[in-house]
Amino acid sequence: MHKKHNKFLVISFILVLVLGVYSYFYNDFVGKVFSADSSLTSSLGTTPIAASSDASVKAAEDTAFLMKLASLTRIKVDASLFEDQSFKLLVNNDVQLDQVAYGRTNPFSPTYSANAAIKATAILKTNPATNINKTSAVLNGSLEGATTSNIFFEYGTDQNLGSKTSKVTTSSVGSFAAIIYGLTPKTAYFYRATANINGLVITGDIIPFNTN
């Protein structure tokens, strides 16, 4: 009898505990649902009012615009400018521009080319001729700011030149020279120094000399 009484108490306690937990979570869930429903109802109740107000303002603006258009019964364009003599004397000075390609072929290539660097630094000079006699002379030149093994002289009896020497070698200070033979006595000659630096041809000034 005592054991049955204890079992009954244990079962009763468990039932009370389960009911209490169920009641707690159920009330919390219902409260949240009710709160959300109230917010939804409130928002649903106010939205149509705002939408209705916006629609009324839009309709009023459209009506005002249509009434303004209806009031414009006549539009007059003043074309007297086109009859003015000054306007008739105007001349069309259109200039046709040739089509050109946009941008560069390779946008990543450097804009400052190697040839531009050579032109900026290389100084080629034609120096006065020496050891001049009746049929030969020594032509002189100098190169600064660059090095090359392709240097020679161009010469002739006028400034078109026409003849050239074989390649010459520069000294450690950049000077170079070449001897030319077979010249005509008592004749004016012209010559200049020429160099080919990495494919870029540069020239010195043309200067004269006279054979004896």
**Average pLDDT of the segment spanning 124-150:** 92
So what CATH class is 117-210? mainly beta
> Where in the chain are the domains?
1-103, 117-210
Question: What's the N-to-C CA distance of the chain in angstroms?
Answer: 157
Calpha distance 202→197 (Å, rounded): 8
Angle at 207 between CA 204 and CA 212, to 5 degrees: 140
Report residue 57 as tokens.
């303002």
CB 140 within 8 A of CB 129: yes
Give mean pLDDT, residues 24-53.
Answer: 52
pLDDT tens per residue across span 165-208: 999 988 888 899 999 999 999 999 999 999 988 888 899 999 99
Segment (H or E) for 38: helix 2-71
Per-residue pLDDT, 81: 79
